[in-house]
Amino acid sequence: MNILVIVGVLVLVILVLIFRVQSLVAILRGSDKRVDGLSNRINGGMFLIFLFGGLGLFFWYTFSKSHVYNLPEAASIHGKETDMLFAITMAVIVAVFVIVNFLILFFAYKYQYKKDREVKFYPDNHLLETVWTIIPAIVLAALVFGGWRSWTEITADAKESDKPVVFEIVGQQFLWASRYPGMDGELGKHDFRSIDSKNSFGIDLNDEKGYDDFMPLNIHVPVGKEVLMRIRAKDVIHSVFIPHLRVKMDAVPGMPTQFRFTPTKTTDEMRSLLNDPEFTYEIACTEICGRGHFGMKHTLVVDTPEEYAKWYAEQSKDASFASLNEKYLVEKVPAEKKDALNAVLAKIKGEEVVAEPVVETPVVDSLTTDSTIVEVASDSTVSDSSPELAH
Ligand SMILES: [Cu+2]
């Protein structure tokens, strides 16, 4: 194979040299006939063939194969806008692409050497230059403005009154893991120094809000409700990518990021829409983060609000940090937080009795109700403990 390449290059060099010698000989003989000859017209024609053939192939492939590489319709509110921005940008780029390539290739054909044609000297034109500077400037500014508006929307903190579903996603080599606020509706603080074999999220044990947080196997969100995803990374830069929801944001160690979105189609709806009973929303990593990067796949389930409330209630009862690691917490929690821990444990265990109403109430309501209960409970049981260290 290598020898073939070397031989090919050598043959090419020899051909170029022969051509060069021939042209030099022609110049020495004082003959310039070759310049105006057949090969000049053939080259001009080939520019045209390349122009129309190339553009034809480009448009044919783009439209006939689009179903192969295009995602199904966006399953989130902002996703529709992202797609629209993408389409507008694409339309502008393709228009410029066609115009520029037409001018380059067609002019090479049109203005090929002709013996009797005179060249016009046309050094500058201020009006023309002003126009072709100002129009792109306006178009680019409009594109950037549209993107900036969307960006501020999706990265903004949700309004308190909107009561978004909040969860945290953490990337590490090579998996995604998630954490939900639990019964109190609030995520506890985290601190990387708290990370150990039991506390893989680094839940800060000085903050009792973290005791009831739960870490599910799959991420669930309710359809039609605003979701605020808080993102962090433990080791290197990862990137959360949920293609069907058009969600993508880097996970940067030491610099938490976030993404706000509202899913519009449940997993079941997507299954029947795509006629694919196996369909699941996939979360992938889109930052080459090391050897196992390809394996960083996680699953997102979009539920109806009722299914979500049921799942949330089950998880906060059976899978919370406190219920799974009671012994660990009893050992590790600072002395002044022992009462708070006991209150959380009692609440998790006691919740069993009132599990049913939680299932019936909408998500937001169940969360707010729960957090008030916790406050009342901790107020009454821990009223004389030291001032709260958490924010
Ligand atoms: Cu990664």
CA of 13 to the centre of ligand 1 (A): 47
Q: What is the mean pLDDT of residues 168-179?
A: 92
- Report the b/e string of 336-358 with b at 16+ CB within 10 A: ebebbbbbbbebbeebeeeeeeb
CA of 196 to the centre of ligand 1 (A): 21
What is the pLDDT, as a whole number, of residue 361? 42
Q: Which residues contact 186 (CB under 8 A, 6 or more apart)?
A: 209, 371
CA of 250 to the centre of ligand 1 (A): 9
Of residues 254 and 365, the one with the higher pLDDT is 254
**CB-based contact 75:245 (threshold 8 Å):** yes
CA of 192 to the centre of ligand 1 (A): 19
Q: Which residue's entry shows tokens 């603080």?
A: 189
Nearest to 78, CA basis, from 168, 165, 167, 153: 153
Distances (CA, A) of 42 to 32, 57, 112, 117: 17, 22, 11, 19
Confidence of residue 391 (pLDDT cuts 50, 70, 90): very low
CA of 291 to the centre of ligand 1 (A): 9
CA of 2 to the centre of ligand 1 (A): 37
What is the pLDDT, as a whole number, of residue 34? 55
Nearest to 210, CA basis, from 233, 230, 181: 181
CA of 104 to the centre of ligand 1 (A): 43
Q: What is the mean pLDDT of residues 323-343?
A: 79
CA of 292 to the centre of ligand 1 (A): 8
CA of 242 to the centre of ligand 1 (A): 13
CA of 233 to the centre of ligand 1 (A): 9
CA of 231 to the centre of ligand 1 (A): 13
Q: What is the mean pLDDT of residues 228-250?
A: 93
Token output for 337: 């937080």
Token output for 135: 């129009």
Q: What is the mean pLDDT of residues 80-106?
A: 94
Region 161-380: CATH code:
2.60.40.420
Q: According to DSSP H, which parts of the chain are helical?
A: 2-28, 38-64, 66-69, 77-110, 126-155, 267-274, 305-318, 321-324, 326-332, 338-350, 355-360, 363-381
Distances (CA, A) of 334 to 208, 309, 378, 386: 10, 32, 16, 11
CA of 235 to the centre of ligand 1 (A): 10
CA of 71 to the centre of ligand 1 (A): 22
Q: Is the pLDDT of residue 348 over 90?
A: no
CA of 299 to the centre of ligand 1 (A): 15
What is the pLDDT, as a whole number, of residue 160? 66
**Residue 92, SS3?**
helix
CA of 289 to the centre of ligand 1 (A): 5
Of residues 206 and 34, the one with the higher pLDDT is 206
Of residues 342 and 221, the one with the higher pLDDT is 221
Domain range list for the chain: 36-112+135-155, 161-380
Q: What is the mean pLDDT of residues 219-229?
A: 92
Q: Which residue's entry shows tokens 């090969």?
A: 39
CA of 67 to the centre of ligand 1 (A): 28
Looking at residue 218, the DSSP 8-state letter turns out to be S
What is the pLDDT, as a whole number, of residue 81? 92
**CB-based contact 48:42 (threshold 8 Å):** no
CA of 232 to the centre of ligand 1 (A): 11
Rounded (to 5) percent helix, strand, coil in the chain: 55, 15, 30
Q: Which residues contact 277 (CB under 8 A, 6 or more apart)?
A: 271
CA of 327 to the centre of ligand 1 (A): 32
